[in-house]
Amino acid sequence: MFDTIKIQKDFPILKRKIHGLRLVYLDNAATTQKPKQVIKALVDFYSKHNANIHRGIHTLAEEATKMHEEARGKIAGFIHAATPREIIFVRNCTEAINLVVYSWGRKFLQRHDEVILSESEHHSNLVPWQFLVAELGIKLKFIPVTNEGLLDLKVYGKLLTQRTKMVSVVHISNVLGTVNPVEKIGEMAHKAGALFMIDAAQSLPRMPIDVQKINCDFLAASGHKMLGPTGIGFLYGKEKLLEAMPPFLGGGDMIREVYLDHSLWNGLPYKFEAGTPNIADAVAFGAAIDYLENLGLSNIFLHEKKLTEYALKKLLAMPEVTVYGPKTAEKRTGVISFSIRDIHPHDVAQILDREGIAIRSGFHCAMPLHQKLKLPATCRASFYIYNTEEDVDQLIEGIKKAIKTFKI
């Protein structure tokens, strides 16, 4: 049994009152709240173990180094990577994608090479590639989304050519909650001789992922969207590929030998981790992974699926409300974008805030998708492990209040 009431007790922030009311937090696609186990891991690290890593031989340095590497090991286990050397710590999903663009892209791409993305990408898996268009003259192609918001794989098949060197797509859309068939997309990419990268910012928090089974070459994610602290994320890359890539940043920790005129690089994963890393947040990210594994990712997926189904049914029954993306929970999870006739999303978000309900309004960092589907700015409610049907009911009540306020 998925015990949301017990889970809620682990999240101190859920006791907060907003304008005197119970907090209903439905902005989880932006960032999730943190359980006390994660907060404790942070406090414990700074209270008992803090030191710089890989440098000292004193007790604290040994402990901190061990804890940092244990966290890396937890991530490797969580995504079924072949070895922890394939896990590079970065600040967030955005930085992970940039690392691939700057290090792999600059070395291995040339003028006229093609990179395939999709029309539903978050800006983080689009803007960095645009840099390479300007710098190297590569070409970007886009897998179109259907009116329902699903990727059109027929067209994708035709986009693949001998020039295609990389296919990089979002796993779960942060706007529509659609789950893209990454195994199939990757298989097609590999058949065409291209590499395959997944933006797992929204999927890793809510479904089991096995990078070896999916057979992706790179995968990017952020800790803060899966109970971890902000400022820590990781890039997974197949060892062979990472070995062939040049460092991203230069400095301490990423080198083995340094001379005045040249240096020899360190091995994986340190080659990509220049300077003192975010040690405490990595350790706390490890605690977040423990928490998620304890709940079980399949259970989390099922819980959100049920909530999404429940919310979809209620929202679709309101004549003033338009829901975007698939109308059933079959091909989507966790995230619902909607609008209310004649009320701007800002105003909806503001009125809901007065009711203690936190949602997001705007373009959600996916402006091209909004343009393609001719969506205005939208309201977005996104769920996580501590959300309940009661939260959805309150959302619906809040929407009714907005409709009443605006007398539409």
Partner 1 sequence: MDNLYRENILDHYKNPRNFGKLQNPSASLKLYNSACGDEIEMQIQFRIHPPAGGSKFIIDDIRFSGQGCAISIASASMLTEKVKGKTIEKIQNLTTKDILKMLGVSLSPSRLKCAILPLEVLQKTAALAKEKENKV
Ligand X SMILES: Cc1ncc(COP(=O)(O)O)c(C=O)c1O
199 binds ligand X (CB under 6 A): yes
Query: Helix, strand or coil for residue 197?
Result: strand
Task: With CA atoms as reference, report the closest residue to 347 among 291, 398, 388, 284.
Answer: 398
168 binds ligand X (CB under 6 A): no
Reported as type and span, the H/E element at residue 96 is helix 93-99
* Cβ 15 to ligand X shortest distance, Å: 26
Beta strands in 270-377 (DSSP E): 321-323, 335-340, 357-358, 360-362
User: In the 8-state DSSP scheme, what is residue 256?
Assistant: E
Separation between Cα atoms, residue 224 and residue 377, nearest integer Å: 24
> Which residue shows structure tokens 């890539």?
245
Residue 201 touches which member of ligand X, partner 1, none, C-beta under 5-8 Å by kind? ligand X
124 vs 333, beta carbon nearer ligand X: 124
Q: Exposure pattern of 158-184 as b/e (b: 16+ CB <10 Å)? A: ebbeebbbbbbbbbbbbbbbbbbebee
First CA to last CA distance, the chain:
41
350 binds partner 1 (CB under 8 A): yes
318 vs 377, beta carbon nearer partner 1: 377
* Cβ 318 to partner 1 shortest distance, Å: 20
Among 337, 361, 382, 394, the residue binding partner 1 under the rule CB under 8 A is: 361
Q: Which of 93, 216, 365, 379 is catalytic?
A: 365
* Cβ 402 to partner 1 shortest distance, Å: 9
Residue 337 touches which member of ligand X, partner 1, none, C-beta under 5-8 Å by kind? none
Percent of the chain as helix, strand, coil, to the nearest 5: 45, 20, 35
Among 37, 108, 362, 372, the residue binding partner 1 under the rule CB under 8 A is: 362
Residue 395 touches which member of ligand X, partner 1, none, C-beta under 5-8 Å by kind? none
Paired strand residues for 17: 22
Residues 79/103, Cβ–Cβ less than 8 Å: no
Binding-residue total with ligand X (CB under 6 A): 13
* Cβ 255 to ligand X shortest distance, Å: 27
170 binds ligand X (CB under 6 A): yes
78 vs 363, beta carbon nearer partner 1: 363
Among 64, 93, 340, 399, the residue binding ligand X under the rule CB under 6 A is: 93
346 binds partner 1 (CB under 8 A): yes
Separation between Cα atoms, residue 265 and residue 258, nearest integer Å: 9
304 binds ligand X (CB under 6 A): no
Q: Do the bridges between strand 378-382 and strand 360-362 make them parallel or antiparallel, or are there none, so unpaired?
A: antiparallel
Residue 180 touches which member of ligand X, partner 1, none, C-beta under 5-8 Å by kind? none
In angstroms, what is the C-alpha Rg of the chain? 22
Residue 222 touches which member of partner 1, ligand X, none, C-beta under 5-8 Å by kind? ligand X
Query: Helix, strand or coil for residue 284?
Result: helix
Is-catalytic flag, 365?
A: yes
User: In the 8-state DSSP scheme, what is residue 111?
Assistant: T
The contact mask relative to partner 1 for 377-406 (x = CB under 8 A, - = no) is x---------------------------xx
Phi/psi of residue 339, nearest 5 degrees: -140, 160
* Cβ 178 to partner 1 shortest distance, Å: 22
Query: Helix, strand or coil for residue 337?
Result: strand
The burial class, CB within 10 Å (0-12 / 13-18 / 19+), for 147 is exposed
Per CB under 8 A, the segment of 39-47, 57-65, 354-362, 385-393 that binds partner 1 is: 354-362
Residue 110 touches which member of partner 1, ligand X, none, C-beta under 5-8 Å by kind? none
- Catalytic residue IDs: 365
Residues contributing to the site for ligand X (CB under 6 A): 29, 92-94, 122, 124, 170, 174, 199, 201-202, 222, 365
Residues contributing to the site for partner 1 (CB under 8 A): 342-347, 350-351, 354, 361-363, 370, 376-377, 405-407
